[in-house]
Amino acid sequence: MFPVIGIVVLILLVFGGFAFTGGNLTPVLHALPHEMLIIGGAAVGSLIIGNSGADLKALAGGLGKVFKGPAYKKQDYLDCILLVSTLMKMMRTEGPVAVEPHIEEPKSSPIFQQYPKLLKDDTLVHLICDTLRLVVVSSGTLDPHAVEDVMDNALKNHRHHALKPAEGLQSLADALPALGIVAAVLGVVKTMGSIDKPPEILGAMIGSALVGTFLGVLLAYGLVGPFAARAKTVIESDAAIYHTVKQLIIASLHGHPQPLVIEAARSGVDHLNQPSFAEVFDGMRGR
């Protein structure tokens, strides 16, 4: 909702402010479609040149995140804590082999099936299952620090790929002012070809050419740049749940008491999404 409101405010205040101060919007609006065609075409072309099909698909997904916002809310963090805590408790009380069916076939696991939203996140499921599989294979003798290193590497790799849409948008934002100049230069070339025209016609043509520069700067710093920053914020916000998984698993492998493990994971969640102490321990009753 806020990105839409921001776009409306941007357009109304920029163009409305121009008209309010006595500017004539007619030549601007007349030149806008042509300049947008050149700048937009150049922007799309540069994206196609510099990215693979998968990168372009991810870029579109990153743009969608700007409007959708973070995927995970308070209930999801609570569910994550309960899911991982249940598996770690089973491993501690029944042995590593007891969790093997759940981590080998998570989609068939009655534990995972209680949390369908989390089950749809392949990164989260793989992080849990691949890590616990190491523990199962080693019969619980792995050094927790070594497991932590493996998880840190997985999280680093995920972050590198997850941030590509935001980086792509930022690269586009950086290029747009120059692409606006390209459109403006073409407008000047067109104007120079009509140098014998009356001053009022030349003035209108030069004004149209300058719309290209204006549009490139506006799109870069008013839209695409903020989109890139917002996409990065949302991506990193969603990635926080993976660090909650790591905290639960590593603290459990260190042999800390379950209440301390859960509280450490809970307290590491952003206050907006942080489940209360009572919510977590009420959810753990009977598990």
Place of tokens 């579109």: 60
Structure confidence at residue 132 (pLDDT): 92
Residue 251 lies in a domain: yes
17 domain-assigned? no
Given a cut of 90, whether residue 258 has pLDDT beyond it is no
pLDDT above 60: residue 287: no
Give per-residue burial for 66-105: e unless 16+ CB within 10 Å, then b.
beeebebebebbbbbbbbbbbbbbbbbeeebeebeebbee
How far is it, in rounded angstroms, from Cα 191 to Cα 205?
Answer: 6
pLDDT at 247 (0 to 100): 92
pLDDT of residue 283: 78
Lowest pLDDT segment from 73-77, 141-145, 273-277: 141-145
Whose CA is closest to 187, among 2, 11, 27?
Answer: 27
Mean of the per-residue pLDDT values of the chain:
88
Under 8 Å between Cβ of 27 and 204: yes
Q: Is residue 108 part of a domain?
A: yes
Indicate whether 105 belongs to any domain: yes
- The number of distinct structural domains making up the chain is 1
66 found inside a domain: yes
For the stretch 237-257, pLDDT in tens is 999 999 999 999 999 988 888
What is the band of 156 on the pLDDT scale with cuts at 50, 70, 90?
Answer: very high
Q: Has residue 139 got a pLDDT over 80?
A: no
Of all residues in the chain, what percent carry a pLDDT higher than 90? 49
Domain-located, residue 202: yes
Residue 205: pLDDT band by 50, 70, 90 thresholds? confident
Q: Which residues contact 120 (CB under 8 A, 6 or more apart)?
A: none
Q: Does residue 1 lie within any of the structural domains?
A: no
Which pLDDT value is given to residue 140?
60
pLDDT above 70: residue 286:
no
pTM: 0.84
Of 227, 78, 220, 249, the closest CA to residue 155 belongs to 249
Is the model's pLDDT at 209 over the cut of 90? Answer: no
Domain that holds residue 246: 27-287
Specify if 116 maps to a domain.
Answer: yes
